[in-house]
Structure 1
Amino acid sequence: MTADPGYDPFHDPMLGDPYPLFARAREEAPVFYAAQIDHWVVARRADILEVFRDLDSFSATNSITPITELGPGAQQILRDGGWGITPALGNNDRPEHLRFRRNVSRAFTARRVAELEPFITERAHEVVDGFAAAGEADLVSALLWELPARVILHLLGIPEESAPIVQEAADNRVRFIWGSLEPLEQERLAEAMVRFWAHLRQLVEERIASPRSDLTSALLEVRGGDDSVFTVDEICSVLFAFLTAGHETTSSLLANAVRRLLEDPTA
């Protein structure tokens, strides 16, 4: 155990550029307690992998629990709004994690991912052709933010005109879970989360009544009406996880990859 090297994910300079702090932590404080978020921070890759592998000592159940404890107002909004999210993939331990992983993999196959390639290529060309004549573009706003949203919408069977809803929901969820929020901001985001949860419930109910060739319908086919495989709320929770992981994190990864390639094309 070593002293906190100055971990503050909510303010600059770390908010704008966290990498110098992480580099320092790897050298001086590979494992430290961050009182500001009441969590232990592990900085070295080998140690992180060891944590992931040691299922007896470490749990994932709090991995997407809000860093800032929810106040009574936000909790009430979630209850009144029918918020039914349950632990699914990234925040679940065995044996429940194995149940989710096994059943999701029956629907989310390598073949289904490969079938997305023509759609991704077409959409990417559409966007690039739209700004190519100008000779320059902000790649994040023009391409890297919207394209992952359109892909995940297509995968799940959500109309593309819902892209702003999905983008807002992904951003809201990230802030709701990992933000330093005052009670009024918590309540505002809780209301937005409830609205999006209702949107997902409606999608699932529509696919129960009229299945299509999308991942939502495939998950319902795996369920087969059996709550021991998936409940309806559990399928909605999987969809919510896919929408966040398939959009915000993908956009950030692509943006960092492009920046790295621009800095060093040989990387």
Structure 2
Amino acid sequence: MSDSIRDLWDLTGKTAVVIGGSKLLGYDMAAAFAEAGATVVVSSRNAASAVSAAETLAEKYNVATLGLAVNVQDYASIENAAADAIAFAGRIDVLVNNAGGGSGNASGDLLQRPVTVIEDMIATNLTGTLLCCKAFGAKMIEQSPSGGAVINIASIAGLVGRDRRMYSNGGVEQQPIDYAAAKAGVIGLSRDLAAAWAQFAVRVNSISPGGFGPRQLPNAFADEYATRTPLGRMGIDGQDIKSSALFLASEASAYITGHNLVVDGGFSSWR
């Protein structure tokens, strides 16, 4: 390993796969990896969205990219994507599991929330992450001793309960309890998988973002969130997740595994 700081953050010659990498935080992380020199594979449930994101990254950063359609609730789809990534790049060095979602179109109130929607939330956010670790992690383990880095995207929802007045005052639907349950599960699976796969030189960490914007959020909600955050604002799309993901993907974090990196401007530490 080089002792040069620049070299430690460099991903030239490596391949990064971002599940759910066609937009928002997923795209931001894929862009960070591409700018650092990695070959990048991005997925979406929609093939056209994945291909478009991959083409944009290739044009902007002059790296090889691939867009794949992946349904994280279908293990055969995940396995096919892992095989396609290996066929395209020859190896997988970084896996980011970012597929998931918040409340969707249903009520966030547990007592009003349809059971089928709850089950879908868990299947996408938690079970899908576990299945992607299984399929793509197998490819990384085959590369041992070079191994790789897995980054599972959790949430501060898995760390702290939220004051529901923030949502009602801000004019948005509350995040559902099942989302918090799924994201807490992601943190737990990351910790235990880190212990299980350390012998193969595969590091496993998670990132727990706080609220990010601006997106289509009402100003009233952004203001409510900002008043509860020590740094006085929401996370900024296109900016605040990039360096955190690149750190955990690169050799700069070579001695870090089983860690949950909280990127929330202090929201979860302030009462």
On whether the aligned pair clears a TM of 0.5, the verdict is: no
Bin of the TM-score, shorter chain as denominator length: under 0.3
TM-score (structure 2 length as normaliser): 0.24
Bigger strand share: 2
TM-score (structure 1 length as normaliser): 0.24
Bigger helix share: 1
Structure showing greater radius of gyration is 1
